[in-house]
């Protein structure tokens, strides 16, 4: 089955509310979209939303790359060779994971639709659906508690609290959340590289009895060796995010003394499902759990992340709320959230439907 057309476009999507992390505040997001059309009329959809400060690629670059002659030369190729096309794309666009991801996702969607099964079933779903965390940006205690109460009313059970600007305020926010909500929420924190080792030690000690599930990327990329001064039990909670961009980094952190006990996989860091599976396989053999995250993204790439996450037996956590704050999107469906649990369907491809915007 031949590819007969490829299309790409860039769209600016408003967020329903701005949020703040350790190094930025966001009020909207630009997303790159990619379509692969087959001769029988099937269309596979992909999207790219790289974080420039993490991977060095802008969404504008993603959109421009998708317009190149190289990509338009996909026309005439057989969709059954989609993995070869992805392999060659990675070679042609090295260190451009947003571009790789948009192409990878669209090809997976088109191929799985062509053979009539979901992507999760193509790889084999290994685990049951999991609850996602929802994210609270950096804000004062009162606003943090108010937002948590809103998420509680919606049925969510896990909070990811952004930290990293002031460790004492971070400690207070976590403690106050536990005081007000008790065991109604599980709590994860994400410092986005905001701590020094002294801050991290202080935070761990002060929150040791709060039952935190994990602490995501507490220190700057390049400072991973400093984490080795911590007890092994504390390092089991630490999650590599910005430090973990590809399978090479996964292999580095999996050998000898491990600075991280958990790997955060984002399709926009590692270039799509193929890169994600490379990281996941290394982690499985090193007894490292998987935590699947995202940027502000379309339902397209969030659903793609869900399918590959559920195909990995060492997936333990998901934080795939990146489409929930979009005021608009290109597609609808793909997954359903019931009491915070993200459930996918058996529909062919990724199972979402085009949405007129």
102 with 149, same domain? no
182 and 275 in a single domain? The answer is: yes
Query: Mean of the per-residue pLDDT values for the chain?
Result: 95
In the prediction, which pLDDT does 357 show?
47
Which residues contact residue 334 at a Cβ distance below 8 angstroms, ignoring those fewer than 6 apart?
Answer: 299, 300, 302, 303, 306, 344, 345, 350, 351, 352
Confidence of residue 29 (pLDDT cuts 50, 70, 90): confident
Q: Say whether both 157 and 189 belong to one domain.
A: yes
Domain co-membership, 103 together with 196: no
Q: Write down the pLDDT at residue 17.
A: 72
For residue 12, what are the domain limits? 3-116
Q: Which has the minimum average pLDDT: 27-31, 217-221, 283-287? A: 27-31
H helix intervals, the chain: 52-55, 59-65, 69-72, 82-92, 97-115, 119-123, 141-153, 167-181, 197-206, 232-235, 247-254, 267-270, 273-285, 299-310
Same domain, 166 and 259: yes
Asked if 240 and 263 sit in the same domain, the reply is: yes
If asked whether residues 145 and 21 sit together in one domain, one would say: no
Count how many domains the chain has.
Answer: 2
What's the burial of 130, exposed, middle or buried (CB within 10 Å: 0-12/13-18/19+)? buried
Whole-angstrom Cα distance, residue 270 to residue 244?
Answer: 8
Backbone angles phi, psi at 179, to 5 degrees: -65, -40
Last residue of a domain, one of 88, 116, 144: 116
Asked if 154 and 131 count as a contact pair (C-beta separation under 8 A), the reply is no
Rounded-to-integer distance, Cα 317 and Cα 293, Å: 9
Q: What is the pLDDT of residues 136-184, one digit of tens each?
A: 999 999 999 999 999 999 999 999 999 999 999 999 999 999 999 999 9
Q: Rounded to an integer, what distance in angstroms lies between the CA atom of residue 352 and that of residue 158?
A: 25
CB atoms inside a 10 Å sphere around CB 173: 25
In the chain, what percentage of residues exceed pLDDT 90?
92
Whole-number Å distance between alpha carbons of 196 and 183: 29
C-alpha of 184 from chain center: 25
Q: Choose among 251, 283, 286: nearest CA to 264.
A: 283
What is the average pLDDT across 248-271? 96
* Higher-pLDDT residue of 279, 26: 279
* CA distances, 246 to each of 242, 251, 264, 277, 306 (Å): 10, 9, 11, 10, 18
CATH number at residue 51: 3.30.390.10
pLDDT of residue 13: 86
pLDDT greater than 70 at residue 26: no
Backbone φ, ψ for residue 306 (5° rounding):
-60, -45
Please report which confidence band the pLDDT of residue 78 belongs to, taking 50, 70 and 90 as the band edges: very high
In degrees and rounded to multiples of 5, residue 271 shows phi and psi of: 90, 20
pTM confidence score: 0.94
Paired tokens of 175? 């403690």
Residues 200 and 304 in one domain: yes
Count CB-CB contacts under 10 A for residue 292: 26
């Amino acid at each position: 089955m031949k590819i007969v057309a490829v299309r790409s476009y860039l769209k600016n999507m408003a967020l329903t509310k701005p949020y703040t992390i350790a190094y930025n505040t966001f009020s909207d997001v630009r997303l790159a979209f990619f379509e692969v059309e087959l001769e029988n009329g099937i269309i596979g959809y992909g999207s790219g939303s790289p974080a420039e400060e993490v991977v060095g690629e802008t969404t504008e670059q993603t959109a421009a790359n998708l317009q190149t002659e190289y990509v338009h030369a996909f026309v005439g190729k057989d969709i059954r060779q989609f993995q070869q096309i992805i392999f060659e794309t990675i070679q042609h666009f090295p260190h451009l994971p947003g571009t790789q991801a948009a192409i990878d996702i669209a090809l997976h969607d088109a191929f799985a639709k062509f053979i009539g099964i979901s992507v999760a079933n193509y790889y084999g779903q290994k685990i049951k659906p999991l609850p996602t965390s929802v994210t609270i940006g950096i804000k004062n205690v009162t606003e943090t508690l108010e937002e948590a109460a809103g998420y509680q009313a919606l049925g969510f059970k896990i909070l990811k609290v952004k930290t990293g600007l002031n460790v004492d305020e971070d400690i207070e926010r976590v403690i106050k959340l536990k005081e007000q909500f008790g065991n109604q929420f599980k709590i994860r924190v994400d410092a986005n590289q905001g701590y020094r080792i002294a801050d991290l030690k202080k935070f761990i000690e002060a929150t040791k009895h709060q039952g935190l599930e994990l602490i995501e990327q507490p220190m700057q990329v390049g400072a991973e060796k400093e984490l080795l001064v911590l007890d092994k039990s504390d390092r089991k909670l630490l999650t590599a995010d910005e430090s973990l961009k590809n399978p090479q980094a996964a292999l580095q952190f999996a050998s000898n003394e491990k600075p991280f006990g958990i790997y955060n996989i984002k399709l926009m860091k590692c270039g799509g499902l193929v890169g994600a599976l490379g990281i996941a396989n290394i982690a499985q053999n090193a007894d490292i759990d998987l935590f699947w995250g995202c940027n502000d993204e379309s339902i397209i790439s969030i659903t793609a992340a869900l399918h590959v996450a559920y195909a990995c037996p060492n997936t333990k956590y998901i934080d795939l709320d990146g489409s929930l704050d979009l005021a608009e999107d290109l597609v609808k469906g793909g997954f359903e959230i019931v009491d915070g649990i993200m459930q996918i369907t058996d529909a062919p491809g990724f199972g979402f439907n085009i949405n007129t915007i």
